[in-house]
Amino acid sequence: FTNSGTTHLSGRVGGSSRHDKFNAADHVVGEVLPYQNQQVSVTLGGPIPKEKLDFFGNYEYEREPDVAVYTTPYPHLNRTFDATNSEKKAGGRVDLQFSPRTRLAVRGSGSCSDNPAPGSSTTAPSKGCSALSSPACCTSTVSCVACIQ
């Protein structure tokens, strides 16, 4: 995560976007299916007092459509279902150096996933906590490690 003893602040910002206006028509349905996907990520790390306390943090966000189109020979049964899945992830770490032989590291991470169509064919534990839970689901972890040499 972080480089203990680093002497400068650094980070990155990135993102990508896809839009259906650049897509061709679906060969089964005969029309362009709605699609807009956005992804953003940010990282930042560096020292607080130089060579004693270092930190690192990250954040990711993704928004993705979940479109299902059902076509049959019976027009009254044809349906399009659309929903938007979103996922947010964050993490952080702090390294504290008490002496050249004694260090402490604390890190944590968390994520929230929102799938507004639970029970659909795309619902899986990776899209939320479980198929039986509510559409929005959040998890987090924290750990601490001490090194004494």
Closest C-alpha to 61, from 118, 15, 128: 15
Output the six-digit token pair for 26: 């679906």
Q: What is the dihedral of CA 148, 92, 48, 95, to 10 degrees?
A: 10
Alpha helices in 20-125 (DSSP H): none
The residue type of 55 is: F
CB of 97 within 8 A of CB of 5? yes
pTM above 0.75, yes or no: no
What average pLDDT does the chain have?
Answer: 78
The residue type of 138 is: C
CA–CA separation, 33 and 12 (whole Å): 33
Q: Which of 4-13, 120-129, 134-143 has the lowest mean pLDDT?
A: 120-129
pLDDT tier for residue 135 given thresholds of 50, 70 and 90: low
Mean pLDDT value across residues 27-40: 82
CB of 84 within 8 A of CB of 116? yes
Q: Looking at residue 117, what is its pLDDT?
A: 59
